[in-house]
Structure 1
């Protein structure tokens, strides 16, 4: 299950040869969630998850996950989720709010510490989307969902893979580093962390490391969702 849900960016149908070869041809399913905050249904769809209403995007994603289980397409143990950047925030929130719903979680190049995101460049430019943590009222709604602040040592989290890039100038790698460290320090041993040393927010331009990372993520999902992790 893949989602984004932010900045009026639409997730539209498209050809995905790597996913088809490494996932669909192995008889796994792929679901793309069109949730509030995105641009699939116009500006009002985006505005419905701005600032204080951000939880709407997370709730929509959870509703899709619950529907997949209800329909028998997946069970919680066989349902993996993935998102990157703002979508990494989405999967980070899903992990901390509903760990019981998922068998594996991929959090790519994410925002995760929403109480300090404006202090990590270029986070201050996104205040129109998320709000300003320096303002008490806005800090309140950010604190309610910020994944980094909601890691619990006694929670039954599924296996997690966090990825980032040392050279990421869009979302600071500190978010993923801190989250991985906090999960591991809290005793969640099935937390994996990968940091690319070159390339930016979208990864390296070289096809070989791109292929290696894609393979890594699909192997992670296959092992976690089939109980061999």
Structure 2
């Protein structure tokens, strides 16, 4: 199976598998409920008559086609088997991390499902310049050491000033929320102050060029170390 490069210059996207949302919805319920809820599509999200896509932009024969449909039918069977295996492995994840980079007109939403010896990434792209992927999700297996670089690449898909929101939950019950803001191509960290029952956001502090990678590294170290210790 071949992955599909996005039309816009998108470093790192060519290593993902593109799957249409209908295919995810056709997963057995026991697998579908393992999907990150905020990325699980609903039937209403699909446009009537939208073509079913296999891998990448190339359209393929629907699964209901009669046997003997040739290579396209066989590729669909392979993709379906791969997707079911991918979904079943989500059950082994002990840490869930969600990264959203949004400018208001472009959104990159990455869900990471991580555990001992397993790392899965589910990516949704929406908005200006990303219309080709509005009805698809991109999937890949991923090593923890690559995540920071991958998120840096994905943030480059958002061309306007944006906010990166990172939330996480580990099997120990610990949760967290982090923010970065990009203005004029530079990353800043909002200073959040708590005083009693009130919370205020002060002026941003420059976070440096490696801010995204450093934030991911800190969160991964915290969550994966805690998971391994339990």
TM-score, structure 1 length as denominator?
0.29
| Structure whose CA Rg is larger | 2
Structure number having the greater strand percentage: 2
Structure number having the greater helix percentage: 1
